[in-house]
Structure 1
Amino acid sequence: MSVVVELNYPAPNDISEALATSSLIVGQLAAVSTSWDDATGEITTWYKFNTVETLVQRAYEPCENCTTPVVPSDLQPVNAGQVVVALSGGAAVIDDVAVEELLPDFSGMVIGQRYLLFVNFDPATNIGGLDYGPAGALLVNSQNTFTPVIESLEDQSDEISTGLIAQYGNSLNQLRAALNPTTCNQTERQSCIDDGGTWNDNNCTCQPAFDPCIHKPWLCE
């Protein structure tokens, strides 16, 4: 049984508001899990990301009247360098009946892909709230450009996606340079990140990803 879930997430007035109120994290999707709340009957899909880079981190704004979210056990623990976000909808088996709640025009997210996340990030729990809903998650393509994960209707505007196109050329590199001005070579920086390393903008150096073959070469023979 499939049900289309109509949800009205708030939208920013423009891209400047979204950038000013959200932490921006580029994460690689590592795992997905779905939970069902027996009390409310709501289905929630949880997405766990490994943080690739944090473009900007804003102060966390707690929700006064919200219950503390409980991350599904199969996604725990949520370690440092990871972030978990949740969206309403998904598929679950309820009383032996397969139920699917669908967000209209939401194409979902794919494990292994990178995404730009506009989140209200809690560093104490590593949980991020997608306050703008699916519009606050954009696929980062191999060319470091963005593709929305939700399709806007003709009578609706997507201020985040259109703003990224208009002001930053739909480019992760341009967005990063605008948020974190640096004299470092951007090609070297991106190459370091793509190879799994950690880039230091203070001294323009790359800490390569851990390679067990260097420390224990006999394991790689």
Structure 2
Amino acid sequence: MTPRPPASLEIAALSHRYRGAPGYALDDVSFAVRPGERLGLLGPNGAGKSTLMRLFCGYLAIQARPGRPPGETKVAVGGVDVARDSLRARQQIGYLPELVPLYTELRVREHLGFRARLKGVGRRQRDAEIMRVCELTGLASMLETPIQQLSRGYRQRVGIADALLGAPPLLVLDEPTVGLDPNQVLDIRGVLKGLGGAQTLIFSSHILAEVEA
């Protein structure tokens, strides 16, 4: 019998409290996401969605809640413990934060080439990988366009293309349609639907219709 692959993301008894805050931003969160599944995190602004994503993406330290048994809290990406091996866990994640960090003085091709190099995409594979993610996100005709000349919707596409570089098994998108006009929202929805089921997708929104779509 073929062994079952590890969950793309497994979280158990996760809590987080910011220094000086009167209460917990997250309180005893537990869930698992299997390979190929899609999960939408729905909640109002300030509900803790971004905090949760930063924790399992390795950008915030995992905390042990006082009074709980040692080892009760668990955060694992593809079977890799985020607290023990954050770098290896992050290598399995394509992450789009709510505020997309872009080098706006660069052209789309230059920006993605730089990001691909940082992610360890080999020089010989880099051009093909850039074209692959640009075709997925509708950017193939924009490769030589300076990012500063792009609309907000197309800048968001560049951020999604960045997250897709290297084909990470887990794609994490924090509010991917925030601040976009209705037509741009529809465009980004189309991009996400076109990704297929090869990757596990986790995204957040404060709008119910976005999660249902």
TM bucket (normalised to shorter chain) is under 0.3
Greater radius of gyration (CA): 1
Q: Which has the higher contact order (CA 8 A, sep 6+)?
A: 2
The normalised TM-score by structure 1 is: 0.26
Higher strand share: 1
The normalised TM-score by structure 2 is: 0.26
Higher helix share: 2
